Amino acid sequence: LQQQAEQTCRQLVRTQEEHEHLLQAAVEQAEGLEHSLRNAEALLAERAAQLRDAQAQLSRNKLLIEELRGENRRFAMALQAAEMKQKSMEEKNQLLEGQASALKQLIGKITPASLSG
């Protein structure tokens, strides 16, 4: 009976050692998983910050695009007004050239008449 008790005791010690090894392995695995989780959380926080920065830049770019569109519309209207003014000036210039030509012809007719008279 004592021999059987000693054998059972040794078997219990071996089982306890196996359980301790298994527990130690589980603890090490849990620590590794915890470390991986912390790394993943840090990476996620970094990516979230990058995304917020990119979103802020996108908002600034949208505002800038709207400002540029407004400025472009003002430039287009100014260009159209300048083109209309240029066309008006060209028409006035043609009118003045016609009047100058008529005056030259009139002077050409008057000058010989006054020289002969």
**Mean of pLDDT over the chain:** 95
Q: What pLDDT does 46 receive? A: 98
Buried b (16+ CB within 10 A) or exposed e, 64-82: eeeeeeeeeeeeeeeeeee
Summarised one tens digit per residue, pLDDT across range 30-87 is 999 999 999 999 999 999 999 999 999 999 999 999 999 999 999 999 999 999 999 9
Q: What pLDDT does 112 receive? A: 73
The answer to whether the pTM exceeds 0.75 is no
Separation CA 13–CA 7 (nearest Å)? 10
Separation CA 109–CA 104 (nearest Å)? 9
In this predicted structure, the answer to whether residue 117 has a pLDDT above a threshold of 70 is no
